[in-house]
Amino acid sequence: MMLIRYLSQLGRYFLMLKEIFNKQTKWSVMKKLIFKEIDDLIIDSLGIVCFISFFIGGVVAIQTALNLTNPLIPKYLIGFATRQSVVLEFAPTFISVIMAGKMGSYITSSIGTMRVTEQIDALEVMGVNSLNYLVFPKIVALLMYPFVIGISMFLGIFGGWLASAYGGFSTSEDFIQGAQMEFIPFHITYAFIKTLIFAMLLATIPSFHGYYMKGGALEVGKASTVSFVWTSVCIILFNYILTQLLLG
């Protein structure tokens, strides 16, 4: 019974994706909605992303340094390990899980509130494709999500460099040498491919839970929690699949 319910929800999700791109809203209206979503989802997330990235980069560098107890192991490995950790996993995946909480709960609660207060029904009565009107701007806005992850990568490595150099764990030259050592450009491409797919999940899964929720104000909170859980699960699952496909 539970399997049938999950398959039904999955089918409804894909039908929602199809409907999002049908019957487009006028560009003059859509343009304002897109800029509003960029401000709400991207610009408002920069502060928390910068803060977390900087300090986690520093923690990764310190943890690596503390575990390199053998004097025969070169200190430049601190920079190498920090770069690999931040670029491959921390920035694209860990930040996306955090954004599932921040962005996801905002998207679900805003659309869920519109469902509860019958604003979505009013849009349908006026002949507007409510899914296109509400979800499409979020998808377009989150095309800028790789820009946020790029900043996260830079600040993570920068935080690692500061913690390593000024914490006395290695010299600045050693850290920079390690950060540049055996650099593979495809790792950046891999990270941004993951990021774009995570952005699509961040835009659509919370929207799905907000749009199809039933009940009152209490259910809006429950829908936000469920959307965070499922978005996180999908991000982790797709992270595994994409890593296997692109790096395996």
227: Cβ contacts below 8 Å, ≥ 6 apart: 104, 105, 107, 108, 205, 206, 208, 209, 210
- Written as six digits, the tokens of 50 are 């910068």
pLDDT value, residue 20: 84
Res 211: pLDDT: 86
Q: Kindly indicate the confidence band of residue 10, based on its pLDDT and cuts at 50, 70 and 90.
A: confident
Helix ranges restricted to H, 117-184: 119-125, 130-141, 145-166, 172-180
Is residue 60 within 8 Å of residue 52, measured between CB atoms? Answer: no
pLDDT at 140 exceeding the cut of 80 = yes
Q: What is the pLDDT of residues 95-110, one digit of tens each?
A: 999 999 888 888 999 9
* Statement: residue 238 has pLDDT above 90: yes
Q: For position 172, what pLDDT does the model report?
A: 83
Q: Quick one: pLDDT at residue 220?
A: 85
Helix (H/G/I), strand (E/B), else coil: 21: coil
Of the listed ranges 48-62, 107-121, 164-178, 221-235, the one predicted with least confidence: 164-178
pLDDT tens-digit series, residues 209-231: 888 888 777 888 888 888 999 99
Listed residue (242, 163, 166) closest to 201, CA to CA: 242
Helix (H, G, I), strand (E, B) or coil at 169: coil
Query: Residues 24, 128: contact at Cβ < 8 Å?
Result: no
Backbone dihedral angles phi then psi of residue 168, each to the nearest 5 degrees: 80, 20
Q: How high is the pLDDT of residue 123?
A: 81
Q: Are 20 and 135 spatial neighbours (Cβ–Cβ below 8 Å)?
A: yes
Question: What digits encode the pLDDT tens for the residues 79-94?
Answer: 888 888 899 888 899 9
Confidence of residue 16 (pLDDT cuts 50, 70, 90): confident
CA distance 84 to 68: 16
Say how far apart CA 128 and CA 180 lie, in whole Å: 52
User: What average pLDDT score do residues 21-37 get?
Assistant: 86
